[in-house]
Amino acid sequence: MTEIFGNAAAQSAFLAAMRGGALHHAWLLTGPQGVGKASFARLAAMRMLADGANPDATPAGFDVPQGDRTRSLIEAGSHPDYRVLARLPKDPEKPDQDLARSITIAQVR
């Protein structure tokens, strides 16, 4: 069972593009807070990385089985090709205040 609900059309479109060799370099995930954009992105990345490690697998959805090496590495935060970027607070002294508008190069390095 996929960990996200209500995104079946988006999952199907993403998987069709990925498996058809027509995956665009960027996908814009939009919608109100709490609809599953971050979950969709995490699971899509996990599915792509798992497929890259095992190109013969063709699961129907984003599911990556428990115990899969790719999933284990991502969940442990140690997959070399997976990194989560987040905006930091504008003022490090006030972490509960507004977030910066952008992610800096230093955060990516």
For the segment 16-53, what is each residue's pLDDT rounded down to a tens digit?
A: 898 888 889 999 999 898 888 999 999 999 999 998 87
Q: Average pLDDT, stretch 60-75?
A: 89
With a cut of 50, say whether residue 97 has pLDDT above it: yes
Residue bearing the bigger pLDDT, 59 or 21: 21
In a domain, 27, yes or no: yes
Amino acid in position 31? G
Provide the domain limits for residue 78: 8-82
Give the pLDDT score at 60.
Answer: 67
- Assign 63 a pLDDT band (cuts: 50, 70, 90): confident
Mean pLDDT of the chain: 87
Query: Measuring CA to CA, which residue among 78, 53, 77, 80 is closest to residue 65?
Result: 53
Give the pLDDT score at 58.
Answer: 67
In a domain, 96, yes or no: no
In a domain, 2, yes or no: no
In a domain, 57, yes or no: yes
Could you give the number of structural domains in the chain? 1
In a domain, 59, yes or no: yes
Are 50 and 57 a contacting pair, CB within 8 Å? yes
In a domain, 33, yes or no: yes
In a domain, 51, yes or no: yes
| pTM recorded for the entire structure | 0.80
Query: Which residues contact residue 58 at a Cβ distance below 8 angstroms, ignoring those fewer than 6 apart?
Result: 19
In a domain, 68, yes or no: yes
